Amino acid sequence: MSGFDLSGLTASFGGERVIGPLSLRIQPGEKVALVGKSGAGKSTLINLIHERVNRESSLVPQALGLVNALPVFHNVFMGRLDRHATWYNTVTLVRPFSSDRTDVRALLQELGMPEKLWMPVASLSGGQRQRVAIARAVYRDAPLLLADEPVSALDGPMAHAVMELLKNRFATSVIALHDVEMALRYCSRIVGIQDGQIALDDHSERLTASDIMSLY
């Protein structure tokens, strides 16, 4: 993989520019944390990157994008809908194939909720719903992970377990994180966003939490 060269990223709302124009090059194997205060443009930037790379990304949006009426299994399976023929997806809606059931259950096991496989998403807690969105992204297994505050609804131990899982499963990632310590611990590069522009871009090993807090 040659990496992702993202130039000319820009977004406006109501005639007012909120992001960019900015450029971001992501090298293969980089784990990038997007940091900055609420409203700085981190979520918008994640969405812009997703639009640019599209099918090459596994996305965990902040709004999660789950279908409440469907069970956990089908929400996770959606990560690979575009990899199967229409007939396969239609059959799966009624009677999933055993290999897919096994794969999704194993993923839920890693996330501490295998017993939720056939539960409707609407019945889950906020933290469980977030883990379903994470499972869908991991199941997709795309070259680039894009995640917007993926552990915001999880307690300490589970948040660290999920960040470890994402670190191990995706060689290359861009993760928007509010938690500076988490960003320094699990990401190799810190990109700070301020007023829609890149205000900081450095290797995490060269930074401390206080270096990043000036963005907040």
Q: What is the pTM of this model?
A: 0.93
Q: According to the model, what pLDDT value does residue 40 have?
A: 84
pLDDT band at 14 (very low <50, low <70, confident <90, very high): confident
Domain count of the fold of the chain: 1
Between CA 161 and CA 168 the distance in angstroms is 11
Going by pLDDT thresholds of 50, 70 and 90, the confidence category of residue 91 is very high
Residue type, 116: K
Residue whose C-alpha is closest to residue 192's, from 201, 183, 184? 201
**How sure is the predictor about 7, in pLDDT bands with cuts at 50, 70 and 90?**
confident
- On average, the pLDDT of the chain sits at 93
Band of the pLDDT at 1, cuts 50, 70, 90? low
pLDDT at 9: 87
Instruction: Give percent above pLDDT 90 in the chain.
Output: 81
- With bands split at pLDDT 50, 70 and 90, how would you rate the model's confidence at 18? confident
pLDDT category of residue 34 using cuts at 50, 70 and 90 = very high
Task: Report the alpha-carbon distance of residue 14 to residue 183 in Å, rounded.
Answer: 31
Question: What domain range is 186 assigned to?
Answer: 4-213
Are 190 and 201 a contacting pair, CB within 8 Å? Answer: yes
CATH number at residue 49: 3.40.50.300
Which range of 4-8, 36-40, 161-165 scores highest in mean pLDDT? It is 161-165
